[in-house]
Amino acid sequence: MSAMIYPTSNFADEHKLCFERAEGVYIYDSNDKKYLEGMSGLWCTALGYGNQELIDAISSQLHTLSFSHLFGGKSHAPAEELAAKLAKMVPVTDAHIFFGNSGSDANDTHYKMLRYYFNAIGKPEKRKIITRQRAYHGVTVAAGSLTSLPVNLTHFDAPLDALHILRTDAPHYYSGHQVGESETQFVDRIIGNLEKLILEEGADTIAAMIVEPITGASGVIVPPEGYYEKLQTLLRKHNILIWADEVITGFGRTGNDFGCTTMGIKPDLMTFAKQLSSAYYPISASVIPGFMYDAMIEQTQANGVFGHGYTYSGHPVACAAALKTLEIFERDNLFEKAAAAGRYLHHKLSTLETHPLVGEVRGEGLLAAIELVANKRKESHFKDAKVGTFAQKACEKHGLIVRAVAGNSLALCPPLIITHEQIDEIFNKLSLALEDTLTFAKQQKLLLP
């Protein structure tokens, strides 16, 4: 038995897929079996594996300044340069950047800074945060409470009431629409539910609403047309800040610089991690607008310090990795290439919509999900995650890494460097796995008439 506690794993499951090496978009296990990494690790290795430029940038920084913190007025060039670079890139007015280590801690940082800001402007009652059903925003205490997936909440006794967390509808038309309801009617209904929630709670008690432009772990939900336009109009009307969690969708994943660009969102706050360094070194960023930063200056003077920060905030090696990653993105036009590759990926996946198991294919750019259903004509879902789990392992058998999310949806999130030929490889292996899964579902009598 291993002495390690594995994250997001079943402790009773003794099967472990142990990886030993990787190169480009391929990863090899301890038996030297080759897999196409269709998930970019965990939605993060945008540049694939073994990128020598990144390795050299990290190595050079380790030789130059292996560590320095940012507490008490200390600083260093990589952090300053990265903050300036990001501030110019993001669609946030007069952006200021706080660095952390993961998407979870970046969202916790935002939670705390919102409290700090509204206290600073004399509105301490404005502290509630709206999140959505099926949201994923991390696993730390505050971020984990903003997450809505049962597996991340059950048994952890998340302090939802103490943290003033509110929940509203997930914008997934396929699984959430009523009989005969059009997409426009669906959007109007869930936006109406949100406005009812705001009015019941009192807009003057709500600080912000957090959204993933397109969700990840909840099944790659792409909201219907008109949803974000109406959502933003409603939130602006009630002076509620818009907080975009771009941990998965940031930096080319959806075919644009940010998911907010793809989905037409003008955020007040933004959260980044994962692809910021192509996962070569842990780093996250919490972006706030200038009006929030300016309002907090006086309080930090009164307190002596802004009492928040991590030992590894703005780690010089992490910042060097992020700077080189952003340089490669820009120099190699990877956002544009990802958009073209994404169009090809979705063209290929769309042909699976006739498969007996496939209820919906969805996504944007190099981010996709295939929802497996028990009866596609009636949009009937499987009662548990058994089929999705089997399908994920079937993909592994054929040399493809995917991830079963939201029960029975297979998520795909390949590196931005993927070629059309490698997308063909994904499609062929996925097709074989779906046939294996269909046979399994029939044998287990899991399909519904």
Residue 327, helix vs strand vs coil: helix
Tokens of 141: 């205490």
Tokens of 94: 């007069």
Closest C-alpha among 300, 309, 280 to residue 100: 309
Cα 209 from Cα 189, distance rounded (Å): 18
Q: How far is CA 142 from CA 107, 125, 179, 244, in A?
A: 8, 18, 36, 16
User: What pLDDT score does 125 carry?
Assistant: 98
Cα 153 from Cα 167, distance rounded (Å): 14
Closest C-alpha among 130, 146, 263 to residue 195: 130
Q: What angle do CA 436, 437, 442 make, to 5 degrees?
A: 105
User: What pLDDT score does 1 carry?
Assistant: 58
Single-letter amino acid, residue 297? I
Cα 431 from Cα 44, distance rounded (Å): 24
Please answer whether residues 350 and 361 qualify as being in contact, where contact means their C-beta atoms are separated by less than 8 angstroms.
Answer: yes
Q: How far is CA 404 from CA 216, 299, 409, 412, 424, in A?
A: 11, 46, 6, 9, 20
β-strand pairing of 269-272 with 241-245: parallel
Please answer whether residues 103 and 274 qualify as being in contact, where contact means their C-beta atoms are separated by less than 8 angstroms.
Answer: yes
Cα separation of the two ends of the chain: 43
Please answer whether residues 358 and 376 qualify as being in contact, where contact means their C-beta atoms are separated by less than 8 angstroms.
Answer: yes
Single-letter amino acid, residue 50? G
| Residue segments in the chain with a per-residue pLDDT below the cut of 70 | 1
Cα 446 from Cα 383, distance rounded (Å): 9
β-strand pairing of 367-372 with 358-364: antiparallel
Q: Where are the alpha helices (DSSP H) in 362-419?
A: 386-397
Cα 98 from Cα 313, distance rounded (Å): 8
User: What pLDDT score does 344 carry?
Assistant: 98
Tokens of 429: 């292996």
User: What pLDDT score does 377 carry?
Assistant: 82
